[in-house]
Amino acid sequence: MEDKMEKQTKENQREYLREWRENNKDKMKEYYKRYYEKNKESRNKYHKGLYEKNRGKVLERQKIHRKMPETILREKEYREKNKDKITKRNKEYGKNNRTKISAQEKQRIKDDPIFKMKKHIRGRLRSSIKIYSTKGKVMPTNKYLDIPAIIKKLTPFPKDRENYHVDHIVPLKMFDHDNPEQVRRAWSPENLQWLTVEENLEKGDRLVMPHYNQGGFS
């Protein structure tokens, strides 16, 4: 009987608190705002320590969450509705955090060979368009490149990566870089291969038939 009465009392208390919060939203908002400002430093320190302690679990949960269909749809809708806001925010963040972003990128390049390769490929594309095109880039990089397919073609990477170059079987200079379709063809996975540094320097910007045939262009 006492347990039943205690349970009822707790339910009444919870209901009272729910009603009070509902009727005092402004007061609650102001209270939490003052509390946060007063304890900002200690809260940030606590949450940072908690994150570092559980970093692996947190990242794994975030990874799973980002792949959920409802998350993907929600983020897509948000990006479409807030394009200008997102662009402005990213621009301001980049401007105010250049040193931090540069350090993070350098560390990721060191730790993540796939990220390093993606960055290398994008850089090579920009360089080739500057050299061979009279119009420059006329559309976003991802319209020229199928990065996932390129990475799949080049995987596995050589263990002694520093001794290899990514070579274009049909040299870049043979494509019309004012034609986006020709640029896509130049950077198609079938036109890329690993060559040792020595082999690539010897090949240069020539079309070497053995490599051409091996690449499936014959």
Tens digit of each residue's pLDDT (9 = 90 or more) over 125-173:
999 999 999 999 989 999 999 999 999 999 999 999 999 999 999 999 9
Residue 26 lies in a domain: no
Its domain, for residue 175, covers: 110-214
pLDDT at 6: 67
Residue 164 lies in a domain: yes
Residue 6 lies in a domain: no
Q: What is the 3-state secondary structure (H, E, C) of the chain?
A: CHHHHHHHHHHHHHHHHHHHHHHCHHHHHHHHHHHHHHCHHHHHHHHHHHHHHCHHHHHHHHHHHHCCHHHHHHHHHHHHHCHHHHHHHHHHHHHHCHHHHHHHHHHHHHHCHHHHHHHHHHHHHHHHHHHHCCCCCCCCHHHHCCHHHHHHHHCCCCCCHHHEEEEECCCHHHCCCCCHHHHHHHCCHHHEEEEEHHHHHHHCCCCCHHHHHHCCCC
In this predicted structure, the answer to whether residue 59 has a pLDDT above a threshold of 50 is yes
Total structural domains within the chain:
1
Residue 210 lies in a domain: yes
Residue 13 lies in a domain: no
Residue 36 lies in a domain: no
Residue 43 lies in a domain: no
Residue 139 lies in a domain: yes
pTM of the complete model: 0.62
Under the banding of pLDDT at 50, 70 and 90, the label for residue 218 is very low
